[in-house]
Copies of this chain bind each other. A is one copy, B any other.
Amino acid sequence: MIGPDDVRAAARTLDGVAHRTLPITSRTLGAQVVLKPECLQRAGAFKFRGAYNKIASLPPGTPVVAYSSGNHAQAVALAASLLGSQATILMPADAPRAKVEATRGYGAEIATYDRYTDDREALGSALAAERGLELVRPYDDPLVMAGQGTAALELIEDVGSLDTLVVSGCATIARELGVRRVVGVEPETGDDWRRSFAAGRPVRIDVPRTIADGLQTNVPGHLTWEVASRLVDEIVTVTDAQIVEAMRFAFERLKLVVEPSGAVGIAAVLEGAVATAGRVGVIVSGGNVGADRFAQLIA
């Protein structure tokens, strides 16, 4: 189990390496809503925080392997490159082109799997054992979760206090820093978390079809479930159409490129799915979407 001290330790590791993204507001969302634009983070998403914190804990030069639909892939590739490690990344064959190219651009070796039929965790573990690589999980790893928690830590440090935090990732630190209510958002078709909350235990669904390629999880991770089931108050869902509207809003009003998975929090606020009494923080988790894909989505 991780706690606020782990997140603060991660913040020290990331100091001067990760960007401290500045909170932004929008009159349309209301003065009480504060966004943390992690699309401006290195490698385009808050995942860099977790990947770097994890790889920095390994003996220097340790080769690593990761499986990811995209943002964790880029995060691991960049972090490994900064820390002098070789990275091998398993990516779904239908991962967005921009994410595959960016991952390769950071110097990683790419292998592919089928998102809908292969067990990526088994593939990753096998590759790790076979080649002597350290597996860097996209979540469900204490150091990765602590690193990701630094996004919430910074937001709370910067804006003073929050009544509600809207996340699509880890929120451990939020409660300890006085946030009253933590809300998770997921795509309507990929509601493994909502179902798990309702059942009181991790529920597995079919791999969801949604434009939010970074949120196509089909079951909460074991450790993530342990933490989040205690700390998250509510799970809300948004449709793909609502996600596209949120991406358009971010583009036209905030001048920010936000990918589908990164836009779910904004979508939830825009749709009124999150009660906005008091100050609301929203982690905008990533911006890795190609221009052509964006054009296609908003058409």
Contact = CB atoms under 8 A, between A and B. Distances in A.
Interface of A: 22, 24, 39-40, 44, 98, 248, 251-252, 255-258, 287, 290-292, 294-295, 298-299
Q: Which of A24, A258, A294 has the most CB of B within 10 A?
A: A294
Contact of A295 (B22, B258, B290, B299): B299
Nearest to A101: B252
A255 B290 contact: no
Contacts of A40: 24, 255-256
B256 A255 contact: yes
A280 to B, nearest CB: 20
29 contacts: A22-B22, A24-B40, A39-B255, A40-B255, A40-B256, A44-B255, A98-B252, A248-B291, A251-B257, A251-B291, A251-B294, A252-B257, A252-B290, A252-B291, A255-B256, A255-B257, A255-B258, A255-B287, A256-B256, A256-B257, A257-B257, A291-B294, A291-B298, A292-B298, A294-B294, A294-B295, A295-B295, A295-B298, A295-B299
Contacts of A256: 40, 255-257
A34 to B, nearest CB: 14
Given A248-B291, A252-B291, A255-B257, 12 more contacts: A24-B40, A39-B255, A40-B255, A40-B256, A98-B252, A251-B257, A255-B258, A255-B287, A256-B256, A291-B298, A295-B295, A295-B298
Closest 7 CB pairs of A and B: A255-B287, A295-B295, A255-B257, A39-B255, A251-B291, A248-B291, A291-B298
A257 B258 CA distance: 10
A276 to B, nearest CB: 20
A98 to B, nearest CB: 6
Counting every copy of the chain, the complex holds 2
A258 B252 CA distance: 10
Nearest to A37: B255
Nearest to A287: B255
A103 B28 CA distance: 14
A228 B252 CA distance: 32
A292 to B, nearest CB: 7
Contacts of A299: 295
A292 B287 CA distance: 18
Nearest to A255: B287
Contacts of A257: 251-252, 255-257
A78 to B, nearest CB: 10
A103 to B, nearest CB: 14
A247 to B, nearest CB: 8
A158 B141 CA distance: 37
